[in-house]
Amino acid sequence: MLQEKSLRNAAAGVPGEGKRPHAARPFLFLSDLHLSESIPKTVAAFEHFVRVTADQADSVFILGDLFEYWVGDDMLAEPFPAQMAALMHTLSERGIALYVMHGNRDFLLGKRFMRAAGAVWLPDPFVITAFGSRIALAHGDALCTADRGYQIFRRFARNRLAQLLFLAWPFRWRRALAERMRTKSEAGRERPPLPRYDVTTHGVNALFKASGTKTMIHGHTHRPARHSDADRVRYVLPDWDLDHGAKRGGYLRIDSEGIRVLPLD
């Protein structure tokens, strides 16, 4: 069953906020940053987003793949993940609600991370109400129904028992596996994406029907666009990469003037 939240109470439950939400302030959405120490320009852009761009926001939503990989909350013992969590915690310290959804790279982000980042975990999918509009949010990987092999893996990877067994491995084993998978992913960076890795009409229609919404926001595919069909609209968020070739990135803003996709400052 889809969960739903009205953003007139957006800041509720965020550790350390203590302020009422600002109904006139915008809501910002981003995804697929794939943060790691190997992309310093992208990390710097995210730091600017948190400290400057988001400063007047009511809420920030990160719809998955915040990190390149996350093999357990014991990663917070390392400097870079701890630094990123501390950076995000400054949002709640300023009364800005932060919501984080799992992606296909960081679905092991847990309660310890959420506390360190001052964030609230957002189930996938999720329905919000913002400025009078009901909107379905998702990471987007569950919509890629033509990739049957991945969908089988996704169901297995989201199984709590399977996660607990993986987290019982020594940290160095988990990290080594993630690094091998990352190397394989990097090797395929320049290959044209295959159609089966994109969302399908079936997946999109199923979520629209289940959510009862006319607007959807997701990421995952790295194919930013605005798709409209009859009275429905679907926004695909851009991935962020300022370290390889042409710079990519951006975010979506919802306020009293509507919905806009904006480039990075």
Query: Would you state the structure tokens that stand for residue 153, as one six-digit string?
Result: 């893996």
**Cα dist from 51 to 22, 56, 129, whole Å:** 18, 10, 26
Percent of the chain with pLDDT over 70: 88
Q: Which of 29, 26, 80, 88 is nearest to 240 (CA)?
A: 29
The number of folded domains in the chain is 1
- Rounded to an integer, the average pLDDT of 115-134 is 96
Percent of the chain with pLDDT over 90: 83
> Cα dihedral sign for 146, 180, 76, 163?
positive
Q: Using 50, 70 and 90 to split pLDDT, how confident is the model at 175?
A: very high
**Residue 12: pLDDT above 70?**
no
Is the bond leading into 15 cis (omega within 30 degrees of zero)?
A: no
Length of the chain: 265
225 close to 216: Cβ distance less than 8 angstroms: no
Q: Which domain holds residue 211?
A: 3-262
**Residue 4: pLDDT above 90?**
no
**Residue 42: pLDDT above 80?**
yes
Query: Residue 8: what pLDDT?
Result: 40
**Residue 121's domain is classified under what CATH number?**
3.60.21.10
